[in-house]
Structure 1
Amino acid sequence: MSVWALGLNHTTAPLDLRGRFAFALDQIAPTLQSLRSSFPSSRHPQVEAAIISTCNRTEIYCASEQIALDHTFGWLAESGGVAPTLLRSHAYTLHDDEAARHVFRVASGLDSMVLGEAQILGQMKDAVRAAENVGALGTTLNQLFQRSFAVAKEVRTATEIGAHSISMAAAAVRLAGQLFEDLRKTRVLFVGAGEMIDLAVTHFAAKEPKSIAIANRTLERGEKLATRFGGEAMRLADLPARLAEFDIVVSCTASTLPIIGLGAVERALKARKHRPIFMVDLAVPRDIEPEVKALEDVYLYTVDDLAHVVQQGQANRQAAVAQAEVIIDAGVQSFMHWLGQRSTVPLIQQLNAQADEWRAAEMARARKLLAKGESVDAVLEAMSRGLTQKMMHGAMAELHSGDAASREQTAQTISRLFLRKER
């Protein structure tokens, strides 16, 4: 059994290209079905698969008897509508121990834009559940991910990898504080109501802004989040008309197209008499048209723009990284040992089946002898002798076949297997 992975992340691909391969959580199941059905059943039966898709990465993990990286590449390029050559220039491929090491590092927060951040672990668990629900996660990938979660827990328990972590939301607050002298006088609009927005609202609410509003496609969900922070909820459709009311806009939805356009921002600036607007687009694909960044009096930051802020203090965590890598190394070795053992499972099953067949045959023979009146001792003697002869027949035959070199090798193997007490 082999494991392989391919993906692109914030270090290998620009934001707009990552957006072409972003899958919302509710898209994972049909996407996995499409991927698995694309493999030729004759060459790759029952391919296991999982997809991790966040604002910083999209990664595909597969397991099968044979690695099929080229096929997986072709499928992903087609799904994103880009040329395979373009995808290859921004993607990475990994297999077996390299794939295991990578997923362990991702789960532990070592491969994130925010070193040591914990959010990726929850996103990975969501992705694994989605794969399980659609029947795409077999024994091998299940072991890989469960072990990655265990390694991540050990890393966080045994090291200080996340002690000085600065989240995207905290970075956004820091930048907003550089633009506005007093955040308590600002009105803040959050677009979306998912996990990232929840985190962002928590950080901004701690600064006690003048008002908080949540714009969401589903009003009920927006109201639920707004109520927690004493804010108001509004429909997403009302956003263009009310955009001018807000000094800070933070957006992160699962929309495949921008929901805040250049024209809407221009009209808002005019209504504000060009008072500045601080905008943060945490979505992949983008929620805010990139042309907005060129407008005067607009300060627009994307997830990639925030990278410089979140990297501050990274030096304080480098010692913890070294400790984490040792834990990950041990996890990789353990997984590869397990994976290697998996290759012997069919042989073990065949040996057990053969032993059961011999046992059943000798039991049937013993019952017949007992029915004929043979003594119990004689029957037990015959049964034990019969089992011993069946078990030793193959080994004895090998010892008498082949050339001298092969017989010597066979003798050493048989000695190791059958004469352990004499070693």
Structure 2
Amino acid sequence: MIFTLGLNHHSAPLAIRERVAFGADKLQHALADLTHNQPVKEVAILSTCNRTEIYCAAETPDVVIDWLSHYHQIPRDDIAPYLYTHDQPAAIRHAFRVASGLDSMVIGEPQILGQMKDAVRAAEETGTLGTQLHKLFQRSFSVAKEVRTTTAIGANIVSMAAAGVHLAERIFERIADQRILFIGAGEMIELCAAHFCAQKPKQVTIANRTIERGRALAEQYGGTAIRLDELGEHLAQHDIVVSCTASPLPIIGLGMVERAIKARRHRPVFMVDLAVPRDIEEEVGKLDDVFLYTVDDLAQVVESGLESRQAAVIEAEDIIAQRVQDFQSWLQSRHTVPVIRALRDSAERMRRHEMEHAMKLLAKGEAPDKVLEHLSQRLTNKFLHAPTQTLNAAEGSERASLQHAAERLFHLHSGE
């Protein structure tokens, strides 16, 4: 049975989401731990700024919830109210909707598809992605492509990066007059840099743990790169700060920002924290001269583009509903695999036995044509012995049912 359980921006506030997030460097360890210590056959974990979801093949999701609580050292009662659990077919539909961007804060955004592929890659490398989940995710990617190419779900999309620019324009009359500091150099920061730098800011600085990667991004926009441990020295020089790293703990604390504000003589600072867990301490937002926004705060801005995409959403949901039925049919066909394998094994044993018998007759000097005739007759009799015997022994409705099944299985036409 395929299950999906987790929490997202619809079900849980940021304060809860950041407590159960999995950093990229911890993901494979978590996957191995879950499959090693629990009766979970297959598992993949999708962890982004807006969601933490566990896709698994297991008898029950309860053991996974207990594991999640234990792994993050959070009492089960603290996260249980925010968790959702889907089994088949809802789990399949959920995976398709997530991949297609229908469950995102920004409806139709494409970034989630790449994040899901990263989650699948991590599960493959850890060896926790079995046949069912592999097929589920491949179908999810296929459905996402179909939705994106046959509907207008991605048209006029309002991205998180664009929303950040929109909010900054509420604080500063012209972004072109501001100095911007980007913290991190991942995909989200690249998107934000593209949107903010389109406004031709006065200065661009990239702060990253790996200075080489930060420098590569900074050079695209004529900026400079610094190390994360240099943040305290440079923070006061910037009017806009956009942060998104994979740090498990905040990298900008209240004291650092207070010192920067004092050095700026209380000129306002606009800060966007797109990281989960948060990069900037929550208390920073309470300072008079700081305008701090998190991923949840940007939700109101991105909602403005939703109405124009409602027709596309309806079309996408119809596509997903049909593909869920298709996948359900595939899963049901999996139940016949053991029977088909046993049938083939039985036929193979008969074939080998009769081949050995025929080879012995040939070795004795029997005519090849007679041996082949003998072989074909014996094989036919052996193949048909069990079904013929079962049909003859059946009575009443059972006989009618078996006859109908035989006609379908062997493509027979009664009366011919």
Tell me the TM-score range normalised by the shorter chain: over 0.9
Which residue of the partner structure matches residue 33 of structure 2?
34
Which residue of the partner structure matches residue 6 of structure 2?
7
Q: Which runs of 5+ in 1 are unaligned?
A: none
Listed as ranges, the matches of 1:18-57 within 5 Å are 18-40=17-39, 47-57=41-51
Aligned length: 415
- Give the fraction of aligned pairs with identical amino acids, expressed as a percent: 55
Distance 2:248 2:409 in 1: 61
Which residue of the partner structure matches residue 214 of structure 2?
222
Tell me which amino acid in the other structure corresponds to 2:57: A
Which residue of the partner structure matches residue 256 of structure 1?
248
Listed as ranges, the matches of 1:169-188 within 5 Å are 169-188=161-180
Which residue of the partner structure matches residue 116 of structure 1?
108
| 1:343 shift after superposition | 1.6
Which residue of the partner structure matches residue 257 of structure 2?
265
| 1:419 shift after superposition | 5.7
Matched, 1:136 2:128: yes
Tell me which amino acid in the other structure corresponds to 2:3: W
Distance 1:92 1:176 in 2: 34
Matched, 1:234 2:264: no
Deviations, residues 116-171 of structure 1 (Å, cap 9, x unaligned):
10001111111111111111112211111111111111111111101011111110
More displaced 10-residue stretch of structure 1: 365-374 or 130-139: 365-374
Distance 2:397 2:142 in 1: 47
Which residue of the partner structure matches residue 193 of structure 1?
185
Tell me which amino acid in the other structure corresponds to 1:222: G
1:294 corresponds to which of 279, 283, 286: 286
Which residue of the partner structure matches residue 385 of structure 1?
377
Listed as ranges, the matches of 1:34-183 within 5 Å are 34-40=33-39, 47-64=41-58, 67-183=59-175
| 1:24 shift after superposition | 1.9
Matched, 1:205 2:204: no
Distance 1:253 1:147 in 2: 30
Distance 1:388 1:360 in 2: 14
Contact 1:25–1:127 (CA under 8 A) maintained in structure 2:
no
Q: Which runs of 5+ in 2 are unaligned?
A: none
| 1:176 shift after superposition | 0.4
Deviations, residues 249-307 of structure 1 (Å, cap 9, x unaligned):
11111111111111111111111111111010000011111111111111110000000
Distance 2:3 2:184 in 1: 34
Tell me which amino acid in the other structure corresponds to 2:111: Q
Distance 2:135 2:188 in 1: 28
More displaced 10-residue stretch of structure 1: 375-384 or 140-149: 375-384
1:312 corresponds to which of 286, 293, 304: 304
Deviations, residues 382-414 of structure 1 (Å, cap 9, x unaligned):
222211221222123223446544334333323
Tell me which amino acid in the other structure corresponds to 1:169: A
Deviations, residues 192-218 of structure 1 (Å, cap 9, x unaligned):
111111111111100001101111122
Q: SS of the counterpart of 2:145?
A: helix
TM-score by length of 1: 0.94
Distance 1:177 1:209 in 2: 12
Contact 2:20–2:72 (CA under 8 A) maintained in structure 1:
yes
Distance 1:80 1:336 in 2: 33
Distance 1:33 1:112 in 2: 28
Distance 1:10 1:241 in 2: 34
Tell me which amino acid in the other structure corresponds to 1:356: E
Contact 2:407–2:413 (CA under 8 A) maintained in structure 1:
no
Tell me which amino acid in the other structure corresponds to 2:125: N
